[in-house]
Amino acid sequence: MMSRGQFVVIEGLEGAGKTTAVNTVYQWLTAQGHKVVQTREPGGTPLAEQIRTLVKSVQQEPMAPETELLLMYAARVQLLSQVIKPALARGDWVLGDRHDLSSRAYQGGGRQLDEQLINQIRTAVLGNTRPDFTLYLDIDPALGLARAKARGELDRIELEQLAFFQRTRAKYLQIAGTEANICVIDASQPLEQVQQAIRQALTEHFA
């Protein structure tokens, strides 16, 4: 019987270096002989990418926090059903640029939505599917936002006030402190040190 694949996720604030981290993890996993399917959230399927555009674009009409939350989970369950679950069932490994932890941190911490509401939604739409391992790239929000601004135009969420991202970071760290399969990486270090920390964390978890 084919063994189930593993689900590895990269999380972090804007400017934390997720793209580079995803590439580092991808190279490490493929070097171990795994077939890897890459995803991003929100997005990852044609329908979910349309939701991503809706969520990230600056709208004339203010978006209620609950609307944002539900759109994130709508995109997520679409990706889960169309890509993540089939890949894991085939024995492939899935490498996600964000997943459920983002909503718990951004909508739960940043938007200050009720944690019980978020948990009810995630249980209803995700069932018992959870990442096997999450790397959270931790960075001071002011530094991360400065990096994000240097990249170019900011999207609707990136335009939030610094306090929003400080609340989001605090929630990330709070959750990471209570869940054993989340590894915190200091993303303010020089790039080579960040990459080395990522490879070490993967080796320790999957060795």
Assigned domain for 70 exists: yes
Assigned domain for 1 exists: no
Assigned domain for 32 exists: yes
- Output the pLDDT for position 4: 79
- Output the pLDDT for position 122: 96
159-184 residue pLDDT tens: 999 999 999 999 999 999 999 999 99
Assigned domain for 105 exists: yes
37-91 residue pLDDT tens: 999 999 999 999 999 999 999 989 999 999 999 999 999 999 999 999 999 999 9
* Farthest-apart Cα atoms in the chain, separation: 53
Indicate which CATH number applies to the domain containing 144.
3.40.50.300
Q: How far apart are CA 29 and CA 25, in angstroms?
A: 6
E strands of 36-181, at which residues? 36-40, 93-97, 133-138
CB distance 130 to 85 below 8 Å? no
Residue type, 28: W
Assigned domain for 199 exists: yes
- Output the pLDDT for position 1: 44
Q: Is the pLDDT of residue 2 over 60?
A: no
- Output the pLDDT for position 59: 87
Q: What torsion, rounded to 10 degrees, do the Cα atoms 100, 200, 21, 6 define?
A: -40
104-156 residue pLDDT tens: 999 999 999 999 999 999 999 999 999 999 999 999 999 999 998 888 888 99
Assigned domain for 47 exists: yes
Assigned domain for 145 exists: yes
Q: How many domains does the chain have?
A: 1
Assigned domain for 163 exists: yes
Considering only CA atoms, give the Rg of the chain. 16
Q: Which of 28, 46, 48, 44 is nearest to 36 (CA)?
A: 28
Q: Is the peptide bond prior to 141 cis by the omega test (within 30 degrees of 0)?
A: no
Cβ contacts of 188 within 8 Å, gap of 6 or more: 138, 139, 140, 143
What is the extent of the structural domain holding 99? Answer: 7-206
